[in-house]
């Protein structure tokens, strides 16, 4: 387990947690896929994913973690226990904005369901950039 990354959820200056709001908005089926992907792909492989279809750099220090598989597929791909989600099957096309820092820490900034509105991507990247600026300013103040 020493290779594992620590996953943190970003809290904005206004007290909101954009990633949690996004995760809560998902159906049970899509949430299960997101949960499996974060726990068994992102936390396990971290920045090593940048050479795969799972992770794409969108700006300095800002990455887009791409979830395109349902939970059971992720479990099979990464030899993880199946979550056994009995919900109605849906297409999964989720994006999560992440920042890697410190000693193997992954900060979950926010996300969106690209399958619902593919035109949102640039707007969502802009939001994620602003959240990352908040985080970096807070880091500067506390160090």
**Which structural domain, as residue segments, surrounds residue 119?**
6-142
Average pLDDT for the chain: 93
Determine the pLDDT at residue 82: 83
C-alpha distances (whole Å) from 123 to each of 27, 97, 127, 130 are 22, 12, 6, 11
Q: List residues bridging with 55 in a β-sheet.
A: 65
d(CA 129, CA 64): 11
Would residue 77 count as lying in a domain?
yes
Q: How confident is the model at residue 118 (pLDDT cuts 50, 70, 90)?
A: confident
Would residue 1 count as lying in a domain?
no
Q: How confident is the model at residue 1 (pLDDT cuts 50, 70, 90)?
A: very low
Would residue 133 count as lying in a domain?
yes
Q: Which of 143, 134, 139, 142 is nearest to 11 (CA)?
A: 134
Residue 42 predicted with pLDDT over 60: yes
Q: Does the reported pTM lie above 0.95?
A: no
Determine the pLDDT at residue 26: 96
CB 68 within 8 A of CB 56: no
Would residue 30 count as lying in a domain?
yes
Domain count across the chain:
1
Would residue 38 count as lying in a domain?
yes
Would residue 10 count as lying in a domain?
yes
Determine the pLDDT at residue 2: 55
Q: How confident is the model at residue 81 (pLDDT cuts 50, 70, 90)?
A: confident
Buried b (16+ CB within 10 A) or exposed e, 7-40: bbebbeeeeebbbeebbeebeebbbbbbbbbbbb
Residue 107 predicted with pLDDT over 50: yes
């Amino acid at each position: 387990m020493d290779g594992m990354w620590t996953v943190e959820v970003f809290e904005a200056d206004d007290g909101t947690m954009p990633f949690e709001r996004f995760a809560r908005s998902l159906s049970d089926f899509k949430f299960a896929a997101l949960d499996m992907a974060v726990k068994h792909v992102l936390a396990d492989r971290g920045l090593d994913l940048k050479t795969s279809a799972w992770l794409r750099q969108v700006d300095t220090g800002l990455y887009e973690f791409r979830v395109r598989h349902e939970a059971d597929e992720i479990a099979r791909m990464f030899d993880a226990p199946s979550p056994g989600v009995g919900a109605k099957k849906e297409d999964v096309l989720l994006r999560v904005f992440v920042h890697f820092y410190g000693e193997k820490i992954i900060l979950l900034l926010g996300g969106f369901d690209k399958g619902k509105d593919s035109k949102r991507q640039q707007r969502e990247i802009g939001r994620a950039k602003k959240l990352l600026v908040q985080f970096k300013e807070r880091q500067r103040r506390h160090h």
